[in-house]
A and B are shown apart, each in its own frame.
Chain A
Amino acid sequence: MGVMGNAVVVSELAKVIGERIIVDRISFTVQEGEVFGLLGANGSGKTTTFNMLSGLLSPSSGAVTILGKSLKEMQRSPVIGFVTQEDSFYEMLTVRENLEFFASQYGVGGDIARVRIKKLLEQARLDEKSGVLASKLSGGMKKRLNIACSLVHDPKVIFLDEPTVGLDPIIRREIWAMIDDLHSMNKTIIITSHYMEEVERLCSRVAIMFAGSIVDSGTPEGLKRKYKLKQMEDVFAYLMKPVVR
């Protein structure tokens, strides 16, 4: 059993490929129902960390516990939902067909699937587009469908890898609204992002990565106070100084 109240516990997690250290013994915890932000510049090791947390990549060392179970014990447990940065659904299937397929992959079928898909369609505001091919959806709809596909098995812990990258502000707000809904449903959410506004808006705590290591972590407000900066973006820039130089 993990620490009570902690949904995710990461301890000395590292990934080394050849002689290159991608993630360097990072440790942090995420509490149940918390929205946790993992920040960092490109190449800082965020996505590798995410892949290790979700079980898509085996760590070189360290340990990960999700809802009290190690990754090995979980064996790709359906408690994890992973929202990819790029859309990952079938363009040539309709919205409903995509949801039905991914539900079936987690063994969710019958009435449970029907009820859950209906709810997700409403939640993602795609109920009127359920019969439309995914390739015909707008950018915002595709993003919402992508998130819905990750939630169809009702995961407890959700990883969102830069969910709003490249989106216009309106769509971004739509995604934020969905994340708010998930948070209200007491889902544990771990999110990576470049957008400090988004981090401040969504995350209760953040960890900032640089060159594979966590250089600092805490609440956005706490970090701003710590570094005596008004904006989270300034804090991020301050901590990325070695890169800037």
Chain B
Amino acid sequence: MIFTAIKKEMLEAVHDRTMLAVLIAFPIFVMIFMGSSFRSLEINGLPVGLAGPENISSSPLFSGLNQSQAFKLESFGSQEDAMTAFKNGRLRAVIIVPEDFERSLRRGSGSTIRIVVDNSDLSLEQAVVSAMSSVIQASSANITKGYVVAAWDQLKGLDSSASSLSMDIAKTKHGLQETKNALESTRRGIDELDVGALEDSLENASSDIASLQGFVIWQKAELGGMSAGNEELLNRTDAFLYNASFALNESIGTVQDTHARLKNQTAQMNATVSALSASISGLEAIKGATTDSIVIAALDLNIASLSSMKQTTANQLDDSQAQMIELEGLNSTLYSFRDALSQYSLELETARLGAGKMAALGSALDNASLRLSDVDASFGTARAQVGKLKSLLGQIKNTTSQIDLTLDEALAQTDSVDSLITSLQGTVAEQTGKDPDIIASPLSVDVENQYQRTSFVDFIMPQVMSVSLLFSCFLLGSISLVREKTGRTIIRALLAPGALANLVVGKIAALVLLSFCQVALILMVALLLFGVKPPENLAMLVWGTGISSLVLSSIGVLVGFYARSESAAIQSCLLLAIPMLFLGNIIFSPDLLPAYTQILQQLLPLAHVTSIFKVVLITNGDPAGDIAALLSYFVLLAMLMAYMVIKRMEISNYI
């Protein structure tokens, strides 16, 4: 019993061609399109506009986007041009890049890219944002890597500068060592002062003194027989004393001049010691302010060098001061001798007054001879000291010149150190001044929905209207014509002249009117219950509804011509409606479907119906293209229906 029932059902299914078509075609179709749809939910070749600085498309980020194959980038000269193409439906999204994009990235201050997306298609919107974000995230990582590499390069540059500075310091150290050697040489020079030269000097002075002394002795011998010729002797003695005093005064002047110069020199040396102390203090301060070991090492070398120089200079200062004391002693001796000569001169003057005074004169001459011997000795010593002093001063001059050079080099080094510190501080400030968040994610995306929406209901209204019209026009159109056949009323339409055409036109017109009511009802419910945004262009909504329902109901009526029963009509309608639901921009975004289905989609009227409602209700654009497509459809359908009405007038076609 059960077997026969099953057999009967199977036979019925096989004999009913429509049901057979549904049974076979439906699963194949669903598998193909569902499979294709889900397989290709990633975007493929989506037309996206790019507006921004010149040649921005060749930047790594956007060439990466282009190579991702998800997007087909098209560059525009201006943001306005891109937005116009977007509003015309040629683009699905527009990437707007700020003018300072590359500069901001190089600076490390990050940049924000605006993406204007067609949010009238929810699935497309999500897919676009997701795909673009993933590409940009990958690019962000590359940019962060670039930052790190740049920072490393800067640090390597600093390391190179420090190495160079280290070499400079070594060079300076060598210079200081040379200075030290020169000072050592000076000391040796001082120690090896030529005693022979000193003796020559002393001998010359002694020779003069000996001449004087010979003259004094001669004068004393002459003094015993002096008579009339005494006056001449006295005159010659006066002249000699005058010459001797003059020479002595010159010596005193020389000693005083030397003393003054030496005093000046010691003052300068004191100043040098103070300057060195200040430099050392300055370098100590710099050293205290930095933590960089290279810089500290360089500064320590400089400080040590300068301290050594300071000590050398202080030692030379002490020597100079000792020389000054000696010169002061010599000066005092010379003054004393001059006083002695003055005394002798006075004594001669006294001797000139009388012969009784000759004895006193002889005594004075003896004293003078003794004093001359003393002066001779002192004068020789003094000459030696002056020579020694001249030599010392010459060496000191050389030493100070070398110290100047060394100081110049040391100053240059401190300048280098200053420059290095400034560079280091700049680098540190630049690197630490960057926002870690920006370095971690230098590129951000500001997604901007092109169309305002109060809720998601705004965006499903086009689909709701399309589906509503699809099923009502298909089902009512086909079933009502089938009922004409099953209810035999088609016979009356076949008998009355022109009645079949009237019947068909009447059905389609009625469905168009009902469609207006449906759309109005949907709109009212959406407005009242969901607070959606009312359509801005009502006239276009009426147009769109009219042409959409005209086409869909024509298809429904044509199905009714062929279907022999209501169930067959319903099955046929489903067979036609389901592909349209898949490809008609209802469930899946056409941009997310395989390329061949996008072509097929253009042939399906429901895609244009949905597109018109989207344009009217969401984008407020121009649905002329879709209306033209539907009008073309309607012309084709009208011709088919005319053929049916004219050629299928026999009852055998219907009953």
Contacts and interface: CB of A to CB of B under 8 A. Distances in A.
Contact of A84 (B491, B493, B502): B491
Given A57-B651, A105-B499, A90 B487 contact: yes
Q: Which of A76, A84, A102, A105 has the most CB of B within 10 A?
A: A105
Nearest to A80: B495
A152 B338 CA distance: 176
A78 B652 contact: no
B192 to A, nearest CB: 144
Interface string B484-509: 00011101111111010011000000
Interface string A137-162: 00000000000011001000000000
Main secondary structure of the interface of B (DSSP, over half): helix
A82 B496 contact: no
A105 B487 contact: no
Contacts of A150: 492
A105 B496 contact: yes
B324 to A, nearest CB: 142
Main secondary structure of the interface of A (DSSP, over half): loop
Interface in A23-75: 51, 54-58, 75
A57 B650 CA distance: 5
B635 to A, nearest CB: 27
A77 B497 CA distance: 7
A106 interface: yes
A87 interface: yes
A105 B492 contact: yes
Nearest to A159: B495
Nearest to A47: B651
A107 B488 CA distance: 20
Interface in B50-71: none
B497 A75 contact: yes
A86 B488 contact: yes
Contacts of B651: 51, 56-57
Q: Which of B492, B493, B502 has the most CB of A within 10 A?
A: B492
Nearest to B651: A56
Contact of B487 (A56, A78, A88): A88
Q: Which of B491, B493, B495, B502 has the most CB of A within 10 A?
A: B495
Interface string A83-101: 0101111110000000000
Interface residues of B, number: 16
A102 B503 CA distance: 11
Contacts of A55: 495
A54 B496 CA distance: 11
Nearest to B489: A88
A46 to B, nearest CB: 14
Contacts of B495: 54-56, 76, 80, 82
Contacts of A91: 487
A77 B499 CA distance: 12
Given A76-B496, A76-B497, A105 B502 contact: yes
A137 B488 CA distance: 18
A55 B494 CA distance: 9
A90 B489 contact: yes
A146 to B, nearest CB: 9
Contacts of A90: 487, 489
A59 to B, nearest CB: 11
Nearest to A75: B497
Nearest to A98: B489
Nearest to A104: B502
A143 B523 CA distance: 45
Contacts of A153: 496
Nearest to A150: B492
A86 B492 CA distance: 12
Interface in B596-631: none
A107 B492 CA distance: 13
Contacts of A82: 491-492, 495
A102 B495 CA distance: 11
Contacts of B494: 56, 76
Contact of A105 (B488, B493, B652): B493
Contacts of A88: 487-489, 491-492
A124 B488 CA distance: 20
A58 B496 contact: no
Contacts of A75: 497
B650 A87 contact: no
A71 to B, nearest CB: 12
Interface of A: 51, 54-58, 75-78, 80, 82, 84, 86-91, 102, 105-107, 149-150, 153
Given A57-B650, A89-B489, A90-B489, 14 more contacts: A51-B651, A56-B650, A57-B651, A57-B652, A75-B497, A77-B497, A82-B495, A87-B487, A91-B487, A102-B492, A102-B496, A105-B496, A106-B496, A150-B492
Q: Which 10 A-B pairs have the closest CB atoms?
A: A88-B488, A56-B651, A105-B496, A105-B499, A88-B489, A84-B488, A106-B496, A76-B497, A86-B488, A57-B650
24 contacts: A51-B651, A54-B495, A56-B491, A56-B494, A56-B650, A57-B650, A76-B495, A76-B496, A76-B497, A80-B495, A86-B488, A87-B488, A88-B488, A88-B489, A88-B491, A89-B487, A89-B489, A91-B487, A102-B496, A105-B493, A105-B499, A105-B503, A106-B496, A150-B492
